[in-house]
Chains A and B, each alone.
Chain A
């Protein structure tokens, strides 16, 4: 049986992962579309900034988040004063950290999905009376759905494993900010922790594998449905 603290860590990991994905999805779709369809000045800089969290040490990402979203940070201070929203030592901080580190994976999958759509299909929709937005909503978005789902699954799985940036901004408070990786880290610092972590490690592997399998299934089903003309 899982302990209450383990259950809390699992619940919190799921909430953090789901919030990170839901919060970053609209931006992921917009950026994926922009990068797949348009050339614009500064595109390389946007791509570099986007992919930076993939190669930066997570602790550095955490430091930058802390500097921005902390109460002394320009954005964190503003949000605290205006809306009373705080990120430091809060699960919302963990969700932001997870969103930032998983965002490049999400955008990469969505961008590839949009790039793979035959541009003429959108043109056909336009000649049939669809406006630019209408064609995007009724042609591009449904056709990119398998890629969007794949991007969400990858981002969720990456969020579940986020450690370095999360501990920097949200700390490691059981029941409040302690996700699965943070719980395991805490267990390993006490005698017998390796044994005690076994159950939650299994749960972690099962959740990650289930997410990937579900994503693969949805992706395959989607591609079958959208088989090329």
Chain B
């Protein structure tokens, strides 16, 4: 069953044109492609941080964007959790303050603070400031913060970038734990085939702003194991 439907066309000042159409189900869908293929742009459009020139984006039974009907829900009303590539933790708030930021603004009975803190093993760092955390801890806080805002779709923008291999393994383990515990529809942006195979049930292969293939990780030519 399709949970997310995306059909957008827009050209940016840099000359880059995104013209993509795809759907995603309730599991983990990987948005795979080389750098500059438009993956992060797709996430920004779904999150409402960018407006398409033309397009329709819907999530469940809600229309997030529909340019012909002049619908553009602001980011705060989309219920889309975005894990930014560089964490984007609020530096003036403690870890607890960061985790509670979204929770205080959106009520969600599904994700409980203590539970998330337990699963992501953040209890010992709740009082710390973001600059006192390691890369892996920052990533876990950012993930916890996104979950606690009660999203109907979780979007992970290159969650392993900048982490060394052992740390990637650990973050992968936390992600698996969270995704199996909450069964939350997820869009994973990555350019690493191994991560597609480890997490995703379906792949959308994006290149130069266009969808070039969709299917299971085994079917889509780009993310075949072995290529990184």
Mark A residues whose CB is within 8 Å of B: 118, 120-121, 123-132, 134, 138-139, 142-143, 225-229
22 A-B residue pairs with CB within 8 Å? A120-B86, A120-B88, A121-B88, A123-B47, A123-B49, A124-B84, A124-B88, A125-B101, A127-B47, A127-B75, A127-B78, A127-B81, A127-B149, A128-B105, A129-B76, A130-B101, A134-B76, A143-B91, A225-B129, A228-B91, A228-B131, A229-B89
Is there an interface contact between A227 and B129, defined as CB atoms closer than 8 Å? yes
Is there an interface contact between B92 and A123, defined as CB atoms closer than 8 Å? no
Bound complex: CA A44 to CA B76 (Å) = 33
Taking the closest CB of chain A, its distance from the CB of B39, in whole angstroms, is 16
**B: contact size bracket:** 20 to 34
Taking the closest CB of chain A, its distance from the CB of B136, in whole angstroms, is 14
Mark B residues whose CB is within 8 Å of A: 47-49, 74-76, 78, 80-82, 84, 86-92, 101-102, 105-106, 129-131, 138, 145-146, 149
Which B residues touch A120, using CB under 8 A?
A: 84, 86, 88
Bound complex: CA A226 to CA B106 (Å) = 25
Which A residues touch B106, using CB under 8 A?
A: 128-129
Which B residues touch A131, using CB under 8 A?
A: 74, 76
Is there an interface contact between A128 and B92, defined as CB atoms closer than 8 Å? no
Bound complex: CA A143 to CA B90 (Å) = 9
Bound complex: CA A171 to CA B24 (Å) = 73
Taking the closest CB of chain B, its distance from the CB of A191, in whole angstroms, is 57
Which A residues touch B145, using CB under 8 A?
A: 128
Taking the closest CB of chain B, its distance from the CB of A196, in whole angstroms, is 49
Given known A-B contacts A126-B49, A126-B76, A130-B105, A227 and B84 have beta carbons under 8 A apart: no
Which A residues touch B131, using CB under 8 A?
A: 227-229
Is there an interface contact between B130 and A229, defined as CB atoms closer than 8 Å? yes
Is there an interface contact between A128 and B149, defined as CB atoms closer than 8 Å? yes
State the 7 A-B residue pairs at the shortest beta-carbon distance, nearest first: A129-B105, A128-B102, A126-B75, A124-B88, A227-B131, A129-B106, A229-B130
Bound complex: CA A139 to CA B88 (Å) = 11
Which residue of chain B has the shortest Cβ distance to A135 in the bound complex? B76
Taking the closest CB of chain A, its distance from the CB of B13, in whole angstroms, is 12
